[in-house]
Structure 1
Amino acid sequence: MVAPRHTKVAVITGAGSGIGLACAKKLSAAGIAIVGVGRTVEKLKELERVIDKPDQIATVAIDVTWEDAPQRIVQVALDHWGHIDFLINNAGVGSPKPLHEADDDNLDHFLNVMLRAPFRLSREALPHMPAGSAVINISSTFAVIGGLRGGAYSAAKAGLDGLTRHIACQYGASGIRANSVAPGVIYTEMTESRLKDESFRRMNVEMTPHTRLGRVEDVAGTVAFLCSDDGSFINGQTIVVDGGWTSTKYFSERGRTSVWT
Structure 2
Amino acid sequence: MKSAIVTGASSGIGLATARAFLENGVAVVGVGRDATKLDAARASLADLPAPMVTLAADITDDDAPKRAVALAMDEFGRLDHLVNNAGVGSPEPVHSTDDATLDRFLDLMLRAPFRLCREALTAFGDTATIVNVSSTYSLVGGLRGGAYSAAKGGLNALTLHMAAQYGSSGVRSNAVAPGVIPTPMTEARLEVEAFRRMNTDMTPAAGWGTVEDIANAIWFLSSPQSAWINGQILAVDGGWSSTKYLSETALSAPREAVEPDWTHSGRKRAEGTPDRES
Name the TM-score class by shorter chain. over 0.9
Supply the AA of the counterpart residue of 2:163: A
1:146-180 deviation line (CA, Å, top 9, x unaligned): 31000000000000000001110110000000000
Structure 1 stretches of 4+ with a deviation exceeding 3 A read: none
Please state how far the C-alpha of 1:258 moved relative to its aligned partner. 2.4
| TM-score for both structures, normalised by structure 1 | 0.96
Structure 2 residue runs of 5 or longer lacking an equivalent are 257-278
In structure 2, the partner of 1:22 is 16
Secondary structure of 1:47's partner? helix
Residue 162 in 1 paired to residue 157 in 2? yes
Supply the AA of the counterpart residue of 2:238: G
1:38-72 deviation line (CA, Å, top 9, x unaligned): 00111111111111059711100000001111111
In structure 2, the partner of 1:127 is 122
Please state how far the C-alpha of 1:122 moved relative to its aligned partner. 0.8
In structure 2, the partner of 1:73 is 68
In structure 1, the partner of 2:210 is 215
In structure 2, the partner of 1:111 is 106
Work out which of the two has the higher radius of gyration on C-alpha atoms and give 1 or 2. 2
Question: Which of the two has greater helix per residue?
Answer: 1
Please state how far the C-alpha of 1:260 moved relative to its aligned partner. 4.4
Supply the AA of the counterpart residue of 1:36: G
Supply the AA of the counterpart residue of 1:204: N
Q: Distance in 2 between the 1:243 and 1:48 partners? A: 30
Over the aligned positions, Cα root-mean-square deviation in angstroms equals 1.1
Q: Distance in 2 between the 1:123 and 1:219 partners? A: 24
Q: Distance in 2 between the 1:70 and 1:103 partners? A: 27
Q: Distance in 1 between the 2:192 and 2:42 partners? A: 34
In structure 2, the partner of 1:245 is 240
Secondary structure of 2:127's partner? coil
Q: Distance in 2 between the 1:22 and 1:195 partners? A: 20
Secondary structure of 1:190's partner? coil
Mean alpha-carbon deviation: is it higher for 191-200 or for 47-56? 47-56
User: Of residues 200, 206, 221 in structure 1, which corresponds to 2:201?
Assistant: 206
Q: Distance in 2 between the 1:233 and 1:253 partners? A: 40
Supply the AA of the counterpart residue of 2:17: C
Q: Distance in 1 between the 2:206 and 2:14 partners? A: 24
Mean alpha-carbon deviation: is it higher for 152-161 or for 124-133? 124-133
Secondary structure of 2:53's partner? strand
In structure 2, the partner of 1:230 is 225
Secondary structure of 1:64's partner? coil
1:80-126 deviation line (CA, Å, top 9, x unaligned): 11221100000000101100001111110000000000000110111
In structure 1, the partner of 2:30 is 36
Q: Distance in 2 between the 1:12 and 1:194 partners? A: 25
Structure 1 residue runs of 5 or longer lacking an equivalent are 1-6
User: Of residues 138, 145, 149 in structure 2, which corresponds to 1:150?
Assistant: 145
In structure 1, the partner of 2:276 is none
In structure 2, the partner of 1:48 is 42
Supply the AA of the counterpart residue of 1:145: V
Q: Distance in 1 between the 2:96 and 2:222 partners? A: 39
User: Of residues 67, 90, 94 in structure 2, which corresponds to 1:95?
Assistant: 90
User: Of residues 39, 57, 82 in structure 2, which corresponds to 1:62?
Assistant: 57
Q: Distance in 2 between the 1:53 and 1:163 partners? A: 36
1:189-225 deviation line (CA, Å, top 9, x unaligned): 1110000000001100000001112110000000111
How many pairs align?
255
In structure 2, the partner of 1:171 is 166
In structure 1, the partner of 2:268 is none
Mean alpha-carbon deviation: is it higher for 247-256 or for 49-58? 49-58
